[in-house]
Structure 1
Amino acid sequence: MIPLNSSMVEAVQDLVKLQDGRLSEYREKRQAAAAERRTPDPLGLGTVSLMLPLYAHPDSAYYRDASLLPEMEVGAENFLKTQLPSGCISLVNCNIDSPPDTAFTTHLTSLLYQVAERSGLPELQGVQGALRLFLERAKPCLLNGGIHTPNHRWVMAGALAKMYEIFEEDTFRDRAFQFLDEGFDMTEYGEWTERSNAIYNGACAIHLYDVGLIFGYEPAFQAIRSNLTMMQYMFHPDDSIVTEYSGRQDLGQTMMMSDWYYVICHLMASRDQNPVFGAMAGVAEKTAPRGSHALMFWMLYPDEMSGARTFMGPLSDEYTILFGEENEVPVPKNVPYLGKLVQHPHGASVLRHRKGKLSVTAMAGQPELLTIRYGEAAMYGLKLGAGWFGIGGVAFPSIRQTGEATYRMQIELEGCYWNPLPKHLTEGTDGMYVKMPNHLREKTHVQFLPVAVELTLVDNGVDVRVLSEAIPNIYLQAVCMFDPQGTLSSPSLEEAAPGIQCLKEGEASFTRGGDTIVVSGGAKEHGDLSMRNDKVNRDALNLTVNWVTPADRTLRFRCITNPKGQGDESHGEKN
């Protein structure tokens, strides 16, 4: 039996009750499948992770329920069958014979093993032995295997720390520090390379906690601390996480805090006695799934987890902060652009502004330069397209503050043409353009188009001023991408194509539920549906405003709460 700390009782009892309900539902579904003569989903590690903590927890309705033992044993046996001769497992739809995926699984397996071990329950020895066998077999995979994304280094280091804790073999520590000695890929304000606020920030944090705790490595705690300090500014009004500039698969997704966040915010709030981390732990208690992973940390680290509750309070929803102001990142400036654009590059400037229900994100380094959330209403992106040598949506290298509430993004786009190559450079190419050293062609008719965007924050919205006055008769287009679950309305909207409406003049309202974003400054100075090479977001309600240079134009976004009963619950477009 694992001892309970009095300050954790209520939180843990709620979590146990939640997991009891999930297990009951799971078993009912399996019984229903069997009754209908359907083959239930095969048992595996997921079964073990759901059942074992409850079996070992005295507050669970399933505490020492003997009927769970055969299912756990079959689940553990099937889990062992997924392990390859190398000791690795595969993420079957992506990473085959994968050391980093084995490292992720090692973290979970180690926790389950330690819960079983510390419970002292003899009937769990079979499952415990199978879990230890997996870890034994994983040794060569983790000691010799490599990575293919930046965060994998810290996941590997964390898994190696857990292996060191269990097996007490110095080779695990030595291997972990081969990764750790590369140094953490973090900006001065706490952002990782992958800029994945909803997924991989939490992954790095939970695995580095093991590194810090087991190896006594303070830089690991400092990296967690730095990232969580940044993350306090990355919540929308509904407590979803800012994902609009992610470099990974959470890009643009609506996601809440994960169990990784739930655990690490509790642990770090307690460790640092930090009220900000405590407030984040409170958000996680409301929004995170709170599954077996969270329960096992309460069981294994009761004092560390419970300490956070002393520091819980509200997380601030009023701030304006610009990250990475002095950073400049690579974006397409000339056409043709030679080399692959680094999407969502590390350290690109990010402006975050919250004022209650209003949440604004401005981003350098990507064409989607602005998002606005106001309660239920959301503009998922604002792009500025330019009819300039096929550049499509313009990305800006940085954001700089120019006034108390004003921020500027600017770029000078290059356009040119190309001379013939000397004959000696085309020999052996058979006249095939793609075989020629085209990067050696001399430029002709070089010209430059300065483009700038100024953002001014106001109490209930944002003013977006677009400036490009150096060359006349260049097409520009602002594209506002709204949530398709809401409604666009205005007498000045003209359907340009399916999913695209042009605001010819005046203003339009986007409404969802009881909240509205009003955009004003409509114009139709040219008739192009979109700028060449600018990809249309078919999953959004697209509102376009068309300008021709010389341009000094302003779009004004104002956010309002509708009078009760006047919210528009319908979906789709509306003129």
Structure 2
Amino acid sequence: MNTPLRDPLKELIHLQDGRLEQFLVKRRTDLAEGREPDPLGIGTLAMTVPLYCQPASRYYLDASFNELMREAVDDFLLTQLESGCISLVNCNIDSPPDTAFKIHLVSLVYQVAARSGLEQIRGIQDGLFTFMVRARPCLLTGGIHTPNHRWVMAGALAKMYEIFGDEAYRERAFQFLDEGFDMTEYGEWTERSNAIYNGACAIHLYDVGVIFGHEPAFEVIRKNLGMMQYMLHPDQSVATEYSGRQDLGQTMMMNDWYYVIYHLMASLDKNPVFLSMAQITEETSPKGASALIHWMLYPEAMCLPDNVPALSENYTILLGEGNEALVPRNIPYLGKLVQHPHGASVLRHRKGKLSVTLMAAQPELMYIQYGKARMFGLKLAAGWFGIGAVAFPSIKKTGMERYSMDIELEGCYFQPLPKEHFADKNGIYVNMPNHLREKTNIQHLQLALDFQLLTDGVEVSIRSKTIPGIYLQAVCMFDSLGELSGDGLEQVAPHMKQLVNGDAVFSLEGDCIRVSSGAKEHKDVSMRNEKVNRDALNVTMNYVTPTDVTIRFQAYACEGEDQ
């Protein structure tokens, strides 16, 4: 029997029809029971307008939506300030970049309405047009405060140029674009946000590339989307364990931005990796309003061929090898450091259900996932001038499937300041130029980690021999949804167990990670200033220098195993 061919547009229409029905039922229920319904706005219009304009939708030309859409337009226009900007009410007030994010969606919904040619939708179309007209001064004069905002602004300005043809929009966009793209040679943005802002940059820069004919925009999209083939875990969730933004440590799939941009770029380049990633988004992304809108506006560019190659699940790749990131070395540290710095080394290792990430420049230096079982981070904390968990500046390849991290930490004390440096400070320590104090009792602690990647896990060797008697602690942070077992586990604090000897096994839905083996060379529950992750199941192992030990992490299917 022949399998019927898929119709992606029809599937999206059916999916959005169902979501709109759920929205309407909830709204009616809230009103009937005296609850305040969810506010209306551009999200409501992004859901209703495409279906109202789509002949294949059961809501096509449904007159019962006229009042709802008018109310949504009116409410949306009320969010716009005199400056033409909107506010992200819990964060960014009178915000040009948040307005730019909205302009992207507003312009797309407007184009759906305009291209439909339906007189019935003209009032909604005019309301969206009014929002864009009012946004002109906001976009032409407003600034940014994160790196990706430049590309979001440029993309919004491109859409405004496409609709209005005003050269001022092009000129303003290139004030941002001419700064140059903040991307590493292997395709990573400053913000290192695989689940959120990679997609945001890509979808907005696609508009820049198409509307302005700006080829460098396509080049950075290609580099970043190419890198992303190495950033998926076995369940197709995105590697967020080293993010510099709010997706840090979150379990997230590729979103609608990824769905759209991988389809568009696969169509543009016929790149087999982009085709494979587009197919994965077909299976895992939410496929919301933006997906349907782009199918309606660019149906040919959104089509995938019938036979899409599968993405490789076996690779080891070190990104940013040799890059030295700024991390705390001199303790006490008197300055400010950048978190998750641009270009810090990242290693990704996949063997089917096994997924490992090694990360320089942050305390959570290793992530392991096997199927459903996740260890969100391995940390090495030191009893060294209150440093807590140590961040290492780089990752280096040292042999076949073998890598290392190392650091030399300086500890010291400080001399009194000469009188001329504190005479006018009234004894207030924090007002004194403390960075000018001379150091005393300087000492150095060398720490080194070696990683041997295995087909079923990782071996981590911890070495420190320069100063005897220093307390060290390895901290394994497991998913709180799973269970820990092992005769050598002792509960030492809420959310924290110590593996004093033997092995511990973490299990979740038949997938396991075994940690071998325990140690209790000192009795401290945690190192001073070490932050306990209370959302995780923490397992610690305690060492005292000189230290030369190996921890083995073995991943395997354990369903039915007697633990």
What TM-score do you get using the length of structure 1 for normalisation? 0.96
Matched, 1:465 2:461: yes
- Residue in structure 1 matching 2:91, options 66, 89, 94: 94
Matched, 1:218 2:215: yes
- Residue pair 2:363, 2:389 contacting (<8 A) in 1 also: yes
- Residue in structure 1 matching 2:189, options 189, 192, 197: 192
Matches within 5 A, 1:237-386: 237-306=234-303, 308-310=304-306, 312-386=308-382
Q: What is the match of residue 21 of structure 2?
A: 24
Amino acid at match of 2:309: G
Amino acid at match of 1:89: I
Q: What secondary structure does 2:7 align onto? A: helix
Amino acid at match of 1:244: E
Q: What is the match of residue 133 of structure 1?
A: 130
Q: What secondary structure does 2:435 align onto? A: helix
CA shift for structure 1 position 338: 2.0
Aligned in 2, Cα 1:329/1:39: closer, same or farther, shift over 3 Å?
A: closer
Q: What secondary structure does 1:522 align onto? A: coil
Q: What secondary structure does 2:70 align onto? A: helix
User: Matched residues in 1 for 2:6 and 2:515: separation?
Assistant: 50
- Residue pair 1:50, 1:292 contacting (<8 A) in 2 also: yes
Q: Deviations over 1:449-488 (max 9, x none)?
A: 1100001001100000000011111111000001111111
Matches within 5 A, 1:377-456: 377-456=373-452
- Residue pair 1:273, 1:311 contacting (<8 A) in 2 also: no
Q: What secondary structure does 2:506 align onto? A: strand
Q: What secondary structure does 1:402 align onto? A: strand
Q: What is the match of residue 152 of structure 1?
A: 149
Q: What is the match of residue 487 of structure 1?
A: 483
Runs of 5+ consecutive residues of structure 2 not aligned to the other structure: none
Question: Percent of counterpart pairs with the same letter?
Answer: 64
CA shift for structure 1 position 560: 1.1
CA shift for structure 1 position 42: 3.3
- Residue pair 1:275, 1:311 contacting (<8 A) in 2 also: no
User: Matched residues in 1 for 2:533 and 2:221: separation?
Assistant: 35
Q: What is the match of residue 3 of structure 1?
A: none
- Residue pair 1:8, 1:302 contacting (<8 A) in 2 also: no
- Residue in structure 2 matching 1:499, options 470, 495, 500: 495
User: Matched residues in 1 for 2:397 and 2:249: separation?
Assistant: 25
Runs of 5+ consecutive residues of structure 1 not aligned to the other structure: 1-6, 569-575
- Residue in structure 1 matching 2:511, options 482, 506, 515: 515
- Residue pair 1:279, 1:311 contacting (<8 A) in 2 also: no
- Residue pair 1:281, 1:312 contacting (<8 A) in 2 also: no
Matched, 1:562 2:553: no
* Aligned residues: CA RMSD: 1.3
- Residue in structure 1 matching 2:71, options 74, 78, 95: 74
- Residue pair 2:347, 2:359 contacting (<8 A) in 1 also: yes
User: Matched residues in 1 for 2:245 and 2:105: separation?
Assistant: 22
User: Matched residues in 1 for 2:6 and 2:161: separation?
Assistant: 31
Amino acid at match of 1:155: V
Q: How many residues align?
A: 560
Q: What is the match of residue 116 of structure 2?
A: 119
User: Matched residues in 2 for 1:412 and 1:47: separation?
Assistant: 55
- Residue in structure 2 matching 1:143, options 123, 140, 144: 140
User: Matched residues in 2 for 1:475 and 1:152: separation?
Assistant: 44
CA shift for structure 1 position 32: 1.9
Amino acid at match of 2:361: G
Aligned in 2, Cα 1:539/1:37: closer, same or farther, shift over 3 Å?
A: closer
User: Matched residues in 1 for 2:270 and 2:5: separation?
Assistant: 16
CA shift for structure 1 position 311: 6.1
Worse-matched range after superposition: 438-447 or 141-150: 438-447
